[in-house]
Structure 1
Amino acid sequence: MNYQWYPGHMTKARRMMQEDIKLIDLVIELVDARVPFSSRNPDIDELAKNKSRLILLNKSDLADKAKTARWVEYFQQKGFYVLELNAKTGAGMKAIDGVVKEACREKIERDLKRGIKNRPVRAMVVGIPNVGKSTFINSYAGKACTKTGNKPGVTKGKQWIRLNKTTELLDTPGILWPKFEDQSVGLKLALIGSIRDEILNIDELAISLITFLSAEYKGILAERYGIEEEGTPLAMLEAIAEKRGCLLKGKGLDYSKAAGILIDDFRSGRLGRLTLELPEEKEA
């Protein structure tokens, strides 16, 4: 299956970010901790060059803890400030103020030397759809400033949010890039919900997830669904359908319903803490 989703508002959003970047001191980029590489828009590095950078590994509660530590080290070696985060519960939020000040220390000191006091740090919050930007902003601000949702594409325009006297945030829409050169990236984005489910083949998506899990996290499917992890991925999806009573009105199993259950269990963390990629795979 070819994975792609690039609605018209994303082109407009990218142009808007190019115009606003000159006003910005810091770029805060949210990525999904389960796919830290695939959930990074490669255009952001070009847009944000010469700016201080903070990467937030959001939804870290859903990701493999040991593998997340490897990703933190990877991004730090690339020169980024990095934090693990769960914007929904607030875990990791207390550390952000200190890191923002450290990332913008030179700018703050420069302002003081020029006699400029109390000019707030301006941070642009960026990321692809459904990585939790709006949830992060609401949690950081301590109030509902933006719309949130578990589907991609909720935020359509920009919005300035003044957190306090020292920090202002610019919320931006989630933007993908026009073409995935590597379709495995598109597959992972589909799995975490950054591409609209309505344009996906959920059965194929579930087969791909089963293939990965049976190789990298053996025993997870057996534990969750009480099935034997043997045979083809299709046979395992069939076993999940049988165990969960996914039946069509006539005779036969409802593979799509079983696929939906599996994908939802992965996205919600009911399968456990899982990470779909490692830094060394990207370097290779």
Structure 2
Amino acid sequence: MKRPKLKKASKRVSCGKRYKIQKKVREHNKKLRREAKKKGVKKRPKKDPGVPNSAPFREEVLREAEQRRLQIEEQIEKKRQTKIEERAKKRKADTEAKSKEAEPKSKKARKDKNLRKERAMNRNSKQHLCAELNKVIDKSDVVIEVLDARDPMGYRCPQLEKAVLQQEGNKKLLLLLNKIDLVPKENVEKWIQCLGKEFPVVAFKASMQMQDKTVQAKKRRLAASNELLNLGRAAVCFGSSSLTELLTNYTTNTQREDVLRVGVVGFPNVGKSSVINSLKGVVACPVGATRGITKSMQEVCISKTLKLIDSPGVIVSRSNPATSIALRCLQEEEGHESVIEDVTTLINQCDKTQIILQYTIADYRNPLEFLMLFAKKRGFLNKGGVPDTQRAASTFLSHWTGAKLSYHSKVPEECTFPSYLSDTVVTEMKRSWDLIKLKVGNEEVLKGIKFPSPARSLSFTSNGPTAGLLTVAEIPVENPAAAATEEVVEQNENKPEQSVQDLSEMLQKKPLSETMSHVLVPSVPVDISLTTAVTDDIYDFNTDFN
């Protein structure tokens, strides 16, 4: 019955009627199944019997079937990806057309100009990073080269220092030893004396837990109320007061009226952004465990007379030793397979007993066995319980480049000036600095930090200063041998289909390569004598029919 004031009649029925309909449907389906059973009609799908074990050439047949199945799955996946890409292109074209219709002409022109600029220079390219680094050097009045205290000589870049000294405007160069809490105290003091003969050296320990202003104020109140404050924790910064006082005294000594711009430069992951955040007291620059987060220069105002400029890391030249490239190269430049090679070079340069005590693992014969033991201890396992050496190698490398592992390099007995330095240049670089207050500040910093004992720190052999790239002309062209290998691979891919025997050999090798892609197992001698090669594939009928 159609109710008034409604366009459509209600579909609601009484419960008795609904139950009656459901009962009738069940009875009808039961009747159909009964009749089908009498006629012998069965809808169960037939089970694939497969290839019998006694069939000849069973393995070849199974491999061909598996190959056909993989080809069909690959074709289906390609079709699906092409459909997704076409759909995304169509959606993007529709959104761009709608945005162009809605935006005014001036905004469209500005947006097109910005797009052209972004396409012309990629932020991840080496050319862009070199250009940004040169901008920082040109705009700075004082350049601070941040060094890792674990290997200060290895983190020095001669090309960078030479470029700063050759700049016009009487630019000053400072050396800042960061991460001093990871090095024994005696080693830090020796490095300050050695490097202090060339440039003024500032001992520094950046804060690793910088947050917003409200959290920092809360931490200060808690620190003031707590008498037994742990000065070795990551939230505390050491050396910021001495560095700011040194820079403000420099402005007064030089009688500067404008703002002093200080550029912070160095190799990736030495803590440039962390130093700026520690001086600012707030997270002004993005920081992280991965290398190469900073892509462009960024100015941070510290006070009315002081500005700090953050810069991207210096690009490492490929002419350096393998250890230097492993520790100071950007994450984007590292290949997927080169991490294990980098870790191998690092382990070979360290003392074996110190590595065993540091990571509390059993004795190992080679770096690969160390990675397998390290992966088992950390639980880095692939399918089937195979140790994931790739993940273990990346974790080990992050310990060395980050602020987690304590290692130190030996100080040279005789500290000689490099070729681009002389006595006149050294005296000019130390002029207008309050070196007495700097020395007192460094001593106070060394008193407040809890240093690791020399027994728990790994001794590391430094390779000396690391060469860097500052101009686009110095960036090498891609290796022609790599391009030739890519052409050979493309030619092999474009070849016609292989025979069944070749496909069977590929399938025999494929599971092994997939399973052991992350593990390099040493080769084991295999018996391939004529008797085993001939008699393995022959079926012996006497075994079953005697």
Q: TM-score, normalised by structure 1?
A: 0.77
1:268 CA drift (Å): 4.9
Give yes or no for contact 2:126–2:315 (8 Å, CA) kept in 1. Answer: no
Quick one: which amino acid aligns to residue 250 of structure 1?
G
1:246 CA drift (Å): 3.6
1:269 CA drift (Å): 5.0
Determine the structure 1 residue equivalent to 2:127: 8
Give CA deviations for 1:256-281 in whole Å, capped at 9, x if unaligned. Answer: 233234334444555x4212564456
Quick one: which amino acid aligns to residue 205 of structure 1?
D
Alignment partner of 1:219 is 2:354: yes
Determine which of 272, 275, 279 is the counterpart of 2:408. Answer: 275
1:101 CA drift (Å): 3.8
Give yes or no for contact 1:87–1:93 (8 Å, CA) kept in 2. Answer: no
Determine the structure 2 residue equivalent to 1:108: 252
Alignment partner of 1:124 is 2:263: yes
Q: Which moved more, 1:51-60 or 1:272-281?
A: 272-281
Determine the structure 2 residue equivalent to 1:234: 368
- The separation in 1 between residues aligned to 2:377 and 2:137, in whole angstroms, is 51
Determine which of 342, 347, 356 is the counterpart of 1:205. Answer: 342
- The separation in 1 between residues aligned to 2:411 and 2:325, in whole angstroms, is 16
Q: Which moved more, 1:174-183 or 1:92-101?
A: 174-183
Greater gyration radius: 2
- The separation in 1 between residues aligned to 2:193 and 2:319, in whole angstroms, is 26
Determine the structure 1 residue equivalent to 2:149: 33
- The separation in 1 between residues aligned to 2:358 and 2:270, in whole angstroms, is 28
Determine which of 148, 152, 157 is the counterpart of 2:291. Answer: 152
Distance 1:176 1:41, change over 3 A: farther
- The separation in 2 between residues aligned to 1:239 and 1:145, in whole angstroms, is 40
Q: Which fold has the larger relative contact order, with Cα–Cα distance below 8 Å and residues 6 or more apart in sequence?
A: 1
- The separation in 2 between residues aligned to 1:195 and 1:39, in whole angstroms, is 17
Distance 1:62 1:81, change over 3 A: closer
Give yes or no for contact 1:63–1:275 (8 Å, CA) kept in 2. Answer: yes
- The separation in 2 between residues aligned to 1:275 and 1:203, in whole angstroms, is 22
Determine the structure 2 residue equivalent to 1:60: 180
Q: TM-score, normalised by structure 2?
A: 0.43
Give yes or no for contact 1:25–1:121 (8 Å, CA) kept in 2. Answer: yes
Q: Which moved more, 1:89-98 or 1:219-228?
A: 219-228
Alignment gaps of 5+ in structure 1: none
Determine which of 365, 375, 391 is the counterpart of 1:257. Answer: 391
1:245 CA drift (Å): 4.1
1:32 CA drift (Å): 1.8
More helix by share: 2
SS in 1 for 2:145: strand
- The separation in 1 between residues aligned to 2:238 and 2:253, in whole angstroms, is 30
Give yes or no for contact 2:182–2:407 (8 Å, CA) kept in 1. Answer: yes
When the two chains are superposed, the root-mean-square deviation of aligned CA atoms in Å is 3.0
1:44 CA drift (Å): 1.9
Give yes or no for contact 1:28–1:55 (8 Å, CA) kept in 2. Answer: yes
Give yes or no for contact 1:227–1:243 (8 Å, CA) kept in 2. Answer: no
1:189 CA drift (Å): 1.8
Determine the structure 2 residue equivalent to 1:19: 138
- The separation in 2 between residues aligned to 1:223 and 1:183, in whole angstroms, is 23
Count of paired positions: 261
